[in-house]
Amino acid sequence: MGDVLGAFLTVVIGLAILAGVLGGLYGLTQFLPGAWRERGQVAVFLVPTLFLVFAGLLVPAVRTIYVSFLDDPGKKWVGLDNYEEIFSGPSTRLTVFNSFTWVVFGTLLVVIVGLAIARYADGMRGERVAKSLIFIPAAISLAGAGIVWRFIYAGPPFEVGLLNQATKAVPGLPVSLGGDGQKLWLVERNIGALTPPDSAPGLNTFLLIVIFIWASSGFATVVFSAAIKGVPESLIEAAKVDGATNRQAFYKVTLPYIRATIVTVATITAIGGLKAFDIVASTTGGNFGTSTIANDFYRIYFVQGRNGFGSAFAVLLFLLVIPVVVMNRRAQLRAGEMLA
Amino acid sequence: MSAVNPGLNPSVVAEPIAPPPVVGEGALPSDKVVDAAMGGEPMGRSVSAALSSRGGRWIVYAIVLFWTIPTFGLLASSVRPENDVKTSGWWKIFYDPSFTLDNYESVLSSSPSGGNLGHFFFNSLKITVPAVIISVGIGALAAYAFSWMKFKGRDWLFVIVVAMLVVPLQMAIIPLLRLITGGVHIGTFTIFPYLHLNNKVAAVWVAHTCFGLPFCIFILKNFVSSLPKEIIEAARVDGAGHLTVFLRLVMPLSVPALASLAIFQFMWIWNDLLIGIVFAGPQNRPVVAKLVEVSGTYGQSWHLLTAAAFVSMAVPLVVFFALQRYFVRGLLAGAVKG
């Protein structure tokens, strides 16, 4: 218990010192003349932020770009060699391809699942409970989600996997689909000579994307629900008076009305998919054909210690985020014009 | 939500009816929107216009089942004896129940095979609580300055800070790590001193504050700048200094925004993996990072992994169920976080 108390005191004292320093500096500004006093006060309010943002984000980001043009010891300028290496090596090419798969399928399915729940649960009995249950995975870390799903995908020797138990119960299912309940669905360890670490056992990446969809759909549901319930009744009623069915009202009125929301959710999900690291790290560790750009960044920089090459992965991630953000901004503007 | 910085994000959630003018409400999703998001009454229409149908209901039931089973299965497995976990599925608990807390005892124990997860659980608290306080506190100071102090280049600085939202943390993490573990030197000249923070908890605080700050400032600036001008200016005319206005007026009025942001940051920091493994030393790791580590070392000890996973999820789940409203509000406001 002494450990807990000590840590608690350290934290309190640390925070008090931080507040004290800022308060003291603020007090000193009282002695400044006229216009300088106001400037001094602005400085006290903003210095922590500006220091952290510039020293902790802006300068480091620029430095990472610079380092990505150097060789791994950081001595020699190599131009675009590191980037070329990403796109020429078969395993890193698979990495980039996997990241695209994450973005495309992850985003698409998260949006579809989110819209489906927001639409079909709208106004049904038990709506709150249903949405709350679907939302639970949002509270769990992505790494934790990876662990949760390992218990679904697990294969022999132990009977832990839910998927195997389910397929075993289906009569007449071929062995290739888990009919004997012995299938290793997510390949996360070596099984003989069949799966060298970099090969791509078919389903692996998709099975990881399922985890991402499971973890992210709650967020989409919540945002879509708020948007769908914000569609004015008069619009939907008018469509129904004109003879529109529920389905038509949804596709012709609701969907166009909440377009901007869909684009925003898609953007955030796509960026989440690009940054996929936790799920990969807690399941396959990026082996067996499942690495992503964010995972390779970690593996190559921190595990293999290759500074230049690792930095190139970070920059690539940034370069891929930009078009997503730009597309989002454009779609937002267009949606704004349509509503205006 | 439509009131949140129209320049950046016109209508994440369109609000059809003008909400009653509540102090500062404009910049946060209103209670109505939060309620709608969680499945309450529609905002602009009666239930009769709802889009639900019988077939649709079965789709929802199916998805709910699919979404709940994995977590429930994990919880059920975590209280079953080792041998049962390995030889039969957790659903056996329904017709042949067996119950034990041995798995939890093992992962919390400090024996070499156990994992000593209690220690790392405590680390997470040591990391998360101060990191939330620091990032929200510094963010609030900046939000006030960007909203109510006049100085040259204010808008530009704000744009630069918010633009950092789109920079993936992978871009900055390595140089920041070097800064913390060695300072910056050109030849023998020291630009930034070596602070001896290697692998210390304080290094994790700094990292989380850096990476969380643009988001905190973005959310709080929207809220703080929407506070009524008259109140702030009246206080200033009465001779109140900036610090007084900030502490006595702006902070109390911003409690809803601060609470939602704090909950959101809490969940984000607790659930983070990358910053935890990069900045915290082996003994200072948060429980999520430790979970990933033991998931490798436990190998085929599935029974231990179940308990370990649940230990790492316990706090976020409690926060989730107790403070869901705040979390949802933070999520809706944060729908702009990229």
Euclidean distance between the first and final Cα of chain B, in Å?
A: 17
Asked if A271's CB is within 8 angstroms of B288's CB, the reply is no
Q: How many residues does chain B have?
A: 338
Nearest Cα residue to A292 out of A269, A308, A316, A323:
A316
What is the number of other CB atoms lying within 10 angstroms of the CB of residue B159? 10
Nearest Cα residue to B314 out of A314, A247, A144:
A144
pLDDT value, residue A11: 80
Residue A61 forms contact with B (CB below 8 Å): yes
Residue A221 Cα, gap to closest chain B Cα (Å):
8
Q: Exposed (0-12), middle (13-18) or buried (19+): which is A34, by Cβ within 10 Å?
A: exposed
What is the number of other CB atoms lying within 10 angstroms of the CB of residue B125? 17
Please say whether the beta carbons of B332 and B34 come within 8 A: yes
Whole-angstrom Cα distance, residue B169 to residue A60? Answer: 10
**Which chain A residues in 272-301 lie under 8 Å from chain B, judged by CB atoms?**
274-275, 277-278, 281-282, 285, 294, 297-298, 301
Which stretches of A56-160 are DSSP H helices?
59-67, 81-88, 90-101, 107-120, 127-135, 142-153
- Tokens read off for A183: 């299938």
Between A260 and B288, residue with greater pLDDT = B288
- In whole angstroms, how far apart are CA A232 and each of A28, A227, B17, B32, B314? 55, 10, 9, 14, 40
How many inter-chain contacts (A to B, CB under 8 Å) are there?
A: 390
Count of H-run helices and E-run strands, chain A: 17, 0
Give the phi and the psi of residue A274 in degrees, each rounded to 5: -60, -40
Q: Which residues of B touch A133 (CB under 8 A)?
A: 64, 67-68
- Sorted by sequence, the CB contacts under 8 Å of residue B195 that are 6+ apart come out as B180, B183
**Which chain B residues in 235-294 lie under 8 Å from chain A, judged by CB atoms?**
241-243, 246, 267, 270-274, 278, 288-289, 291-292
Q: Which residues of B touch A260 (CB under 8 A)?
A: 10-12, 14
A56-65, A181-190, A196-205, A209-218 — which is least confidently predicted? A196-205
Count of H-run helices and E-run strands, chain B: 16, 2
CB burial of A102-118 (b: ≥16 within 10 Å; e: otherwise) equals bbebbbebbbebbbbbb
Calculate helix-pair angle for B201-224, B117-148, nearest 10 degrees: 40
Whole-angstrom Cα distance, residue B176 to residue A269? Answer: 26
Nearest Cα residue to A178 out of A207, A205, A154:
A154
- Tokens read off for A124: 């049904």
Nearest Cα residue to A186 out of A283, A291, A276, A299:
A283
DSSP label at residue A308: H
Please say whether the beta carbons of B236 and B249 come within 8 A: no
Residue B130 forms contact with A (CB below 8 Å): yes
- Tokens read off for B263: 């909950």
- In whole angstroms, how far apart are CA B150 and each of A35, A38, B9, B242? 11, 9, 25, 11
How far from the centroid of its chain's Cα atoms is residue A248's Cα? 33
Please say whether the beta carbons of B21 and B227 come within 8 A: no
Written as tens digits, the pLDDT of chain B (338 aa) is 333 333 334 344 444 433 333 333 446 787 888 888 887 765 544 444 455 567 888 889 999 999 999 999 999 989 999 888 888 778 888 887 888 898 898 888 877 667 788 899 999 999 999 999 999 999 999 999 999 999 999 999 999 999 998 899 999 999 999 888 877 777 777 777 777 777 788 899 999 999 999 999 999 998 899 899 999 999 989 988 899 999 999 999 999 899 999 999 999 999 999 999 999 988 899 999 999 988 877 767 888 889 999 999 999 999 988 888 888 888 887 664 33
Whole-angstrom Cα distance, residue B281 to residue A174? Answer: 48
Asked if A275's CB is within 8 angstroms of B170's CB, the reply is yes
- Tokens read off for A91: 């395993």
- Tokens read off for A21: 């320093």
Q: How many CA atoms lie within 13 A of A289 on its CB side?
A: 16
| Residue B25, amino acid | E
DSSP label at residue B20: P
**Which chain A residues in 303-322 lie under 8 Å from chain B, judged by CB atoms?**
307, 310-311, 313-315, 317-318, 321-322
Per-residue pLDDT tens digits for A72-92: 998 899 999 999 999 999 889
Whole-angstrom Cα distance, residue B277 to residue B275? Answer: 6
Residue B76 forms contact with A (CB below 8 Å): no
Whole-angstrom Cα distance, residue A50 to residue A56? Answer: 9
Least CB-CB distance to B36: which of A63, A226, A282? A226
| Residue B95, amino acid | Y
pLDDT value, residue B147: 94
pLDDT value, residue B14: 42
Residue A267 forms contact with B (CB below 8 Å): yes
For Cα atoms B37, B38, B41, give the angle at the middle one, nearest 5 degrees. 80
Residue A335 has pLDDT above 70, yes or no: no
Euclidean distance between the first and final Cα of chain A, in Å?
A: 61
What is the number of other CB atoms lying within 10 angstroms of the CB of residue A339? 13
- Tokens read off for A279: 């799920």
Predicted confidence band at A7 (pLDDT cuts at 50, 70, 90)?
A: confident
- Sorted by sequence, the CB contacts under 8 Å of residue A331 that are 6+ apart come out as A259, A260, A263
Least CB-CB distance to A147: which of B9, B29, B309? B309
Q: Give the predicted TM-score (pTM) of the model.
A: 0.89
- Sorted by sequence, the CB contacts under 8 Å of residue A39 that are 6+ apart come out as A32, B151
Per-residue pLDDT tens digits for A134-157: 999 989 999 999 999 998 998 877
Calculate helix-pair angle for B201-224, B324-333, nearest 10 degrees: 70
Please say whether the beta carbons of B21 and B316 come within 8 A: no
pLDDT value, residue A193: 53
| Residue B201, amino acid | V
Residue A189 has pLDDT above 60, yes or no: yes
- Tokens read off for A333: 């503007």
Please say whether the beta carbons of B302 and A160 come within 8 A: yes
CB burial of B133-142 (b: ≥16 within 10 Å; e: otherwise) equals bbbbbbbbbb
Candidate ranges A195-209, A324-338, B25-39, B84-98; pick with highest mean pLDDT: B84-98
Please say whether the beta carbons of A64 and A315 come within 8 A: yes
- Tokens read off for B230: 């008259």
Nearest Cα residue to A4 out of B136, B132, B195, B119:
B119
Predicted confidence band at A270 (pLDDT cuts at 50, 70, 90)?
A: very high
Whole-angstrom Cα distance, residue B161 to residue B175? Answer: 18
Asked if A148's CB is within 8 angstroms of B70's CB, the reply is yes
- Location of structure tokens 């230990």: B311
Asked if B51's CB is within 8 angstroms of A227's CB, the reply is no
Peptide bond into B130 cis (omega under 30): no
Predicted confidence band at A339 (pLDDT cuts at 50, 70, 90)?
A: low
Asked if B73's CB is within 8 angstroms of A152's CB, the reply is yes
Whole-angstrom Cα distance, residue B140 to residue B221? Answer: 8
Nearest Cα residue to A124 out of A228, A200, A24:
A228
Q: How many residues does chain A have?
A: 340
- Tokens read off for B296: 């490798």
For an interface test with A, which of B74, B133, B171, B208 has the most A Cβ atoms less than 10 Å from its Cβ? B171
- Tokens read off for B77: 């497995």
Which ipTM value was assigned to this complex? 0.90
- Sorted by sequence, the CB contacts under 8 Å of residue A128 that are 6+ apart come out as B38, B39, B40
